[in-house]
Amino acid sequence: MSSVSAFAAKPNSIVKQGSCFPSRLSRKICNSLIISAIFLYIIYIFLSNHPYKRASPDHFIAGITSPTNISHFFFGIAASSNTWSNKRFYVQSWWRPNATRGLLFMDKSPVQHLPWPSPYPPFRVSEDNSRYEEYNKHAMPFAIRMVRVIEETFKEEHDEGVVRWYVMADDDTVLLIDNLVEVLSKYDHRKYFYVGMKSECIVSNSIHSFEMGFGGAGYALSYPLAKVLAQNMDLCIKRYPTLFGSDHILQSCIADLGVSLTQEKGFHQIDLHRDISGLLSAHPHSPFLSLHHLDAVEPIFPSMNRIDSLNHLMKAAAIDQSRLLQQTICYYNKNNWTFSVSWGYSVQIYDFGSKHGFVYKESCIADLGVSLTQEKGFHQIDLHRDISGLLSAHPHSPFLSLHHLDAVEPIFPSMNRIDSLNHLMKAAAIDQSRLLQQTICYYNKNNWTFSVSWGYSVQIYDNIFPPSYLYRPLETFIPWKKGATLPYMFNTRVLSTDPCEAPHFFFFVSVDEKRVMDHIVTSYTRRSPRGLPACISSGNHSADFVSKVRVLSPLKNLGWEVVGMDSLAIKLRNRMNDEIVA
């Protein structure tokens, strides 16, 4: 816990009316406040715990015998020779010679900076990418070079016994590496993990992806994920020639492996301008991990330039990174004052206290220092009309709830709302853990793609689409409120009448009582004729003749066969090790 006190001109007068909320417990722990006309000294004392819950060390994860430390990290930093003079200060602020390991990847040899100073990370010149010229249709012209930094980093250091995490960043990214060690220690580095954070701005997320870790903020890849990405980088680059930049190419390739972004709030892309002191003074109760785009905002401390401001902040970081920017709220009730302390950065004093209502009008839970733990399976459904597109692309997370079913169309065609709900619960009664879980399957002979939402729907596309595309819901619905410029907190696909893009829709009918080869069998029938010709560009193989689909499902992915002139059977299996769609 914490305590707050102040010293003034009259040391004999002590006012016992302080309270402070640095963590989950809302106790009065500010022991005394004494106010001086000139100076206010707040003594900020942390005991055993911090405002955020400390990471569980990974040596408590089964099979991991030693905790993760900085020697298990390898950094890949994308840089430019032309801008290194202005960017080097950012890397220099966090890089620790003889402790951190990694490489700077330059677009060309930095001859103007040679001989290369030892305090900087060693550099490499990026490999020639001319062989990818026909696939370089990106708005960001250097996207291919940037995304291949992952592959080149792995080639330079790929000893699984040494490296657990690859941390990717830009040359203007500032990292807090002690906090990175603590945060990544929560995760099992032997599994696929993609750890980062989306942008602060909804526009940036909408343009790219709400499921994308922004590279300027930095992101971490576990060893096995980095390995499979390095092995399949050529395929990824050729599959996504038109995406804006390297981060989106990477996220799409990772999504094709069935891996979603693990969000950590301490990564900061800073897609902002002007003064960001308001943001930094209200940092979430989560370890502060990175800053980016400091050239695009005002210096973070007044009366200092950008470099001096950054170095000033790192002075506090050198004392204790785990406390840096962690916010604590305190009160001095006698004067109705509220204090907001952002450790190592700022203190804000408000001339009103708790009796006038808290500054942050969120909830009583927030007043206890508790933040929301997000689970993607909860669904508020602030939408209207047909939500089948949303339910058919449920995220890979247990389906937990639905709301506002009176405000949308029945979730099954030709049924009313009550019958639709009861029909869905028939599948739930068999196995809730599978309900709505999306699986992508392929029948290469006909160039067909299947999207199976277990217990709800099957979509058949007369074309091959990667999972990253099909994970985005079809926009069969409309926003809760009309006229919203960016109405959703997720990316969507627009409905199309192009036969190469429009799916054949099938909906859940029944679960067979008998199992087939120890598989649960669910059946789905066509909603209505699609009314479109075949997709000529993919071979003119239409699925119009299919009226029924049966799904045999122990786990995931495709093995299937034709069982009749108008029926298909899809047998789901586990994804094979390092399997990615060819």
152, 126 in Cβ contact below 8 A? yes
Q: What is the pLDDT of residues 516-565, one digit of tens each?
A: 777 899 999 999 999 999 999 988 899 999 999 999 987 443 333 333 44
Strands (DSSP E) found in 393-481:
438-443, 448-453, 457-461, 477-479
Is residue 322 domain-shared with residue 217, that is, in the same domain? Answer: no
pLDDT score at 82: 94
Per the domain annotation, does 23 fall within a domain?
no
pLDDT score at 60: 62
- β-strand partners of 559: 571
Strands (DSSP E) found in 190-320:
194-196, 219-222, 262-263, 290-291
What's at 499, amino acid-wise? P
Domain boundary among 368, 396, 417: 368
Residue 33 carries which DSSP code? B
Domain range holding 169? Answer: 70-263
Is residue 386 domain-shared with residue 411, that is, in the same domain? Answer: yes
Name the pairing type of β-strands 438-443 and 383-385. unpaired
pLDDT block averages, 10 residues each, the chain of length 582: 36 36 38 39 39 51 85 97 95 96 96 93 96 91 94 94 96 98 96 96 93 97 97 95 94 94 97 97 95 97 96 97 95 92 97 54 74 92 96 94 97 96 96 93 94 97 95 96 87 95 97 81 94 91 94 57 51 62 52
Would you call 175 helix, strand, or coil by DSSP? strand
Is residue 217 domain-shared with residue 257, that is, in the same domain? Answer: yes
Candidates 158, 147, 175, 148; CA nearest to 70 is 175
DSSP alpha helix (H) spans, 43-142:
84-94
Domain boundary among 323, 344, 368: 368
- β-strand partners of 524: 508, 549
Domain boundary among 368, 400, 424: 368
pLDDT score at 46: 34
Element (H, E) at 248: helix 246-256
Per the domain annotation, does 248 fall within a domain?
yes
Domain of 226: which CATH number? 3.90.550.50
Element (H, E) at 254: helix 246-256
pLDDT score at 517: 76
**Non-local CB neighbours of 232 within 8 Å, separated by 6+ positions:** 253, 578, 580
Is residue 436 domain-shared with residue 564, that is, in the same domain? Answer: yes
pLDDT score at 565: 43
Angle formed by the axes of helices 143-156 and 246-256, nearest 10°:
60
Per the domain annotation, does 530 fall within a domain?
yes
pLDDT score at 230: 96
Per the domain annotation, does 37 fall within a domain?
no
Is residue 430 domain-shared with residue 569, that is, in the same domain? Answer: yes
Q: What is the pLDDT of residues 45-56, one digit of tens each?
A: 333 334 344 445
Element (H, E) at 338: strand 337-342
Element (H, E) at 350: strand 346-350
- Tokens (6 digits) for 262: 């693990």
Is residue 183 domain-shared with residue 79, that is, in the same domain? Answer: yes
pLDDT score at 21: 41
- Tokens (6 digits) for 146: 């940037």
Per the domain annotation, does 12 fall within a domain?
no
The answer to whether the Cα torsion of 92, 95, 98, 102 is positive or negative is: negative
Residue 265 carries which DSSP code? T
pLDDT score at 22: 43
pLDDT score at 388: 97
CA distance 68 to 575: 28
CA distance 382 to 487: 10
Is residue 164 domain-shared with residue 305, that is, in the same domain? Answer: no
- β-strand partners of 525: 507, 548
Is residue 105 domain-shared with residue 219, that is, in the same domain? Answer: yes
Is residue 195 domain-shared with residue 151, that is, in the same domain? Answer: yes
166, 182 in Cβ contact below 8 A? no
Per the domain annotation, does 148 fall within a domain?
yes
What's the full length of the chain, in residues? 582
Is residue 557 domain-shared with residue 481, that is, in the same domain? Answer: yes
Is residue 239 domain-shared with residue 312, that is, in the same domain? Answer: no
166, 82 in Cβ contact below 8 A? no
- Tokens (6 digits) for 167: 């941390």
What is the total count of domains within the chain? 3
**Non-local CB neighbours of 178 within 8 Å, separated by 6+ positions:** 70, 321, 322
- Tokens (6 digits) for 497: 């009448």
Is residue 392 domain-shared with residue 307, that is, in the same domain? Answer: no
